[in-house]
Structure 1
């Protein structure tokens, strides 16, 4: 983890949420000899949420003897992440707000704040590895979060430190449980995958639009075969919550047509995809054409593919098919466990 020689001491800014992962990360950084400062980032307006968690982060700071800053990024988060989330669903897409947040907020605005206090390095409690040139999958396969960093800017990577890259979650919890002031942290509930979603996506979307708009369910040929309760309730691959007249076999959402308030459904075989296009390409390597592995969703197996980039678009040809490819999601490219970039599926 250490990035400096024995005769110098480098300053690192760590994002602190008040949770176990960032707490243990801060402790490990300090043990490595870094000059550590923390920052708690207010990202959304969930009532009572930030006061409680900032108090936890301050408690850790007092225990370690480090300063913990409070950084209000709620306006930036709304513009860059929250509005993107809502607008994507309006357009019939499946967004990935965590990828966007990592690019623009955690490894964007947080980096700018690090510069303002003279911190050379930036650290978080992500389960990821980095050698200063590339990002790698973390040791814990159930917690690896490298997928969500495929869109971060290449020039930021040399400044990133991930203390938990070679840890597994159970060991982190056990470590926290042995530290007297943090014992209650080790048993706290895991945070949700998307920080501003308390229960379901529908609840968030319903604050901004009417999501209950009954419409037509059609087959791949455009024939009306049933009804649904509103296109924003569905994502590609979903198999429940709509009606297909006379259907005996399972049907899945193949496509969403927001302009007509229609969903297209079909069999699992019709979900199979062998090739797709990407945009907003972000690579950590200088290549226009290459073979690699690709993950088309966070919780999915990487499959071999061939990538060809022309201008600002790319074509990904899969050597093994995937099912339920969703426009708006992110495709992350790997060589073994090394992350080499990504792009948005279009």
Structure 2
């Protein structure tokens, strides 16, 4: 007897392929969906063909779902507009909220699927999200803005696997050999080399401006504010500087960047907006990650209205407006918000 029907997001890669295989072995009825998210010549044709080949191997249907219009509006435009405003966005977090665990869940309803699964490395028990066993691959951070009501429908079989074991598992299946050795996908799917190449398609990002210190004094020049993120150390000029200088703030209206020495990057408190929590909390102690590849640090969070104040027990460096703060209790994800 089937354990239920699962719609599996299939990219043509190793992780989503192994996800589908594992769930089928567990006794679920599987249907796949390949989601077209952006316009990259030849990209979708090649990967959809791989996903179809996996579907033939498993004897399942793999749908082609064109979400490029929704992705452009909800993720791509958000990415571009954020940099225009001097912010540092996280498009993967927004994609997970609105597309992969938004539109994909809606599509699951149309094919009668009770559950939705992807090849993300994390765990979900239907009520909460937890970090993966493979902490080097853990992607729980990127799901901190997913809507609470979809959690009971999410399955992540790779949460208890190590990446090397997933590759080894795939390599033992002859029809999937080329998948097991293919290159890892980039973190942001529509960025091939650097984010400023994307921005340059939409605006002139090479407009030289002033580099100023924290008192507003002009101390040098830069090549255009959209080339910089908080904490960046190179690519601008500071008159007579002996110590390394870092970007402390970005002023898009003035086309200025504010720079200073590393100790001035230190922050002990900040605010977040667009708060999304998986349980009802108004004031609590937890750990917070202010970027994906950073250590979680202890903090105290107090929510008032639509914003929260985060008081850190140890300082963080390079805090960037627009980035995501994810809150944890041990390995359990509590939710998150946008740093403002």
What does 1:26-175 correspond to in 2, within 5 Å? 26-175=20-169
Tell me the equivalent position of 2:292.
298
- The alpha-carbon deviation at position 285 of structure 1 amounts to 1.2
Task: Please give the secondary structure, in 2, of the residue aligned with 1:260.
Answer: coil
Which residue of the other structure, out of 248, 254, 264, is the alignment partner of 1:260?
A: 254
What does 1:231-250 correspond to in 2, within 5 Å? 231-250=225-244
- The alpha-carbon deviation at position 9 of structure 1 amounts to 2.7
Asked if 1 retains the 8 angstrom alpha-carbon contact of 2:283 and 2:303, the reply is yes
What does 1:188-203 correspond to in 2, within 5 Å? 188-203=182-197
Tell me the equivalent position of 1:180.
174
Asked if 1 retains the 8 angstrom alpha-carbon contact of 2:16 and 2:119, the reply is yes
**Could you give the per-residue CA deviations for residues 212-241 of structure 1, whole angstroms, max 9, x where no partner exists?**
000000000000000000000000000000
- The alpha-carbon deviation at position 8 of structure 1 amounts to 5.0
Moved over 2 A (4+): none
Structure 2, unpaired ranges of 5+: none
What is the CA–CA distance in structure 2 between the aligned matches of 1:108 and 1:9, rounded to whole Å? 23
- Residues 1:230 and 2:254 aligned together: no
What is the CA–CA distance in structure 2 between the aligned matches of 1:274 and 1:230, rounded to whole Å? 29
- Residues 1:287 and 2:291 aligned together: no
Tell me the equivalent position of 2:268.
274
What is the CA–CA distance in structure 2 between the aligned matches of 1:132 and 1:278, rounded to whole Å? 26
- Residues 1:311 and 2:305 aligned together: yes
What is the CA–CA distance in structure 1 between the aligned matches of 2:24 and 2:215, rounded to whole Å? 62
What is the CA–CA distance in structure 2 between the aligned matches of 1:9 and 1:295, rounded to whole Å? 36
What is the CA–CA distance in structure 2 between the aligned matches of 1:285 and 1:132, rounded to whole Å? 13
Tell me the equivalent position of 1:3.
none
What is the CA–CA distance in structure 2 between the aligned matches of 1:106 and 1:343, rounded to whole Å? 18
Structure 1, unpaired ranges of 5+: 1-6
Asked if 1 retains the 8 angstrom alpha-carbon contact of 2:96 and 2:146, the reply is yes
Tell me the equivalent position of 1:11.
5
Asked if 1 retains the 8 angstrom alpha-carbon contact of 2:2 and 2:29, the reply is no
**Could you give the per-residue CA deviations for residues 49-92 of structure 1, whole angstroms, max 9, x where no partner exists?**
00000000000000000000000000000000000000000000
What is the CA–CA distance in structure 2 between the aligned matches of 1:322 and 1:185, rounded to whole Å? 39
Task: Please give the secondary structure, in 2, of the residue aligned with 1:339.
Answer: strand
**Could you give the per-residue CA deviations for residues 21-40 of structure 1, whole angstroms, max 9, x where no partner exists?**
00000000000000000000
Tell me the equivalent position of 1:208.
202
